[in-house]
Structure 1
Amino acid sequence: MVSRSGPLAVPEEASTLAMQSAIDAINKSGGVAGHPIQPVIVDAKPDFSLYAEKAEERIIREKVTPPPR
């Protein structure tokens, strides 16, 4: 999750680009355990409680989990 608006948007833009570049490279080499990574971009703004809320949505409600080791 990144801030796409507010005062953190500009410094986090480089992180977003780096993350997308890494995802592209991983997917080009076959993904993770044969599955492509599909990023979900959520604007958490500079609100730490919103970061927590959006992370909970991904983990609990959408059942997003880390890949198996």
Structure 2
Amino acid sequence: MIHKETRKKTFFYLSATIISCFILIPFFWMILTSFKERGALMTIPIQWLPEKISFRAYQELFSIDFLFKR
């Protein structure tokens, strides 16, 4: 029979792993989506990895026109 302390630790680590996945998956999705082209953002089925990596969103973000636009 498994000791009570071992069961508590197992439950704690399993719960922590599941909660971590719920927190980290949207963060990774956001990062991966930032490298997709505009047409690939809403494709069905979902593509986790972009077929073509695009830095266009970052080019627009850091462009002079975007930074100083009011």
Q: TM-score under structure 2 normalisation?
A: 0.31
Higher relative contact order (CA 8 A, sep 6+): 1
Greater fraction of residues in helix = 2
